Amino acid sequence: MQRRPFIKNLISGGIALVCIVLLLKSLYQNYGLLQEQHLTFSPVQFSISLFPLVLSYFFIPAMWCGILVSFGISLPYRKAFCIQYLAHLGKYIPGKIWAYIAQSYLASQAHVSLAETLCSNAILMCLLSFSSLFVFAASFLAWNTFTFLTRLVLVVLSFFLIYLLFRMRLLETIFNLLLERFTGIHNTLHCESLYYKNIFIASSLEWFTFTIGLYCMIKSFYPIDILQSIIIVGTFSISWLVGYYAFLSPGGLGIQEGIQVYLLTFFFPAPISIVIALTSRLWLTIGDVLIFLFALALTIHDNRLQRSIHGSYS
């Protein structure tokens, strides 16, 4: 029984490694075509692109706070920010659960129960998944490879998904049933008031800020226009979503890049598509590390401040 986690972790790491190796092999085989593109890398512009990327991270804790408020729980934004991003790097550990375990533990220190943490995060992930699907569908407006009727149908479907966002009472009931079924927690949650419209607006702002960062990042080595950046963001959103739900891939590593490369090859040469996907992963990982370090610094500062206050009263 003790060998099962090790085997699962080994398989997870193996899948991610195989996917990355295959992409690198394809890039090597198309190196001649890559040289013809005359790519020039600008470290300054790449560094600038990290600012909107890091800024986009600040919206998710606000969304989580809004969901907790709808449950009648008041959690300061600063505390929610530290809880979210101190546990954030756990997504790169095979198994997908470590980030949630860490977040549940940290939230319990802030007097947020396990049921409230799990349910609010499940709703948050549903909202992020819906917004990712919406971004992907909206990006089809720039896909000239499809007929106008096809793009129109996709836009209508995306608006239907937005409508679902405001029917969260159904999701709330489902989450409560799942919590009771799989965790044995019987004190089901009830939303006194719903703020999911504001949360969806925050999610839209997050994607808008992220798009600016992604555009600047790709411009640091390859010339693209606004329409191309919309296409790239759309492919990123759907590949991120599939990678997130790919249980055997830590952080969607390999799976996300493979799907993004496949979609990008409809618009860009294969080596450019691979470079965009791999550079996006590197860029996003740097952002994950930066936001973790910022959350860690805030936590250390708050703990020192709290100890000094307690020391002055003792």
Summarised one tens digit per residue, pLDDT across range 142-169 is 777 667 777 777 777 777 766 665 665 6
The pLDDT of residue 188 is above 60: no
User: Domain count of the chain?
Assistant: 1
Query: The tokens of 272 are what?
Result: 């450019």
Percent of the chain with pLDDT over 90: 16
Q: Which long-range contacts (CB under 8 A, 24 or more apart) does 166-175 make?
A: 166/194, 166/196, 166/197, 168/123, 168/194, 168/196, 169/194, 171/123, 171/126, 172/119, 172/123, 175/119, 175/122, 175/123
Q: Which of 39-48, 183-192, 215-224 shows the lowest per-residue confidence on average (mean pLDDT)? A: 183-192
- Residues whose CB is less than 8 angstroms from the CB of residue 298 and which lie 6 or more positions away in sequence, other chains included: 78, 81, 82
Confirm whether pTM is higher than 0.75. Answer: yes
Q: Which residue has the higher pLDDT, 37 or 227?
A: 227
- Does a structural domain hold residue 279? yes
| Residue 128 covered by a domain | yes
User: Does the residue 21 lie in any domain?
Assistant: no
Residue 29 lies in a domain: no
Q: Cα separations (Å) of 10 from 3, 93, 260?
A: 10, 11, 24
Q: What is the pLDDT of residues 5-47, one digit of tens each?
A: 555 555 655 666 666 676 677 767 777 666 667 778 889 999 9
In a domain, 193, yes or no: yes
Across the range 279-288, mean pLDDT stands at 91
Residue 79 confidence class, pLDDT cut points 50, 70, 90 = very high
With respect to residue 19, please indicate whether it lies within any of the assigned structural domains.
Answer: no
Give SS3 for 90.
helix
State the DSSP string of 17-33. HHHHHHHHHHHHHTHHH
Domain, as residue range, for 273 = 42-306
Any domain includes 10:
no
Closest CA to 76 of 61, 97, 91: 61
pLDDT band at residue 288 using 50, 70 and 90 as cut-offs: very high
Q: How far is CA 215 from CA 41, 174, 192, in A?
A: 14, 38, 40
pLDDT score recorded for residue 144? 73
Lowest average pLDDT, out of 102-106, 138-142, 178-182, goes to: 178-182
pLDDT over 50 at 192, yes or no: no
Q: In 3D, which of 233, 223, 280 has the Cα closest to residue 41?
A: 223
15 located within any domain: no
pLDDT at site 2: 47
Q: Using one digit for the tens of pLDDT, what is the confidence trace for 196-216?
A: 667 777 888 888 899 999 999
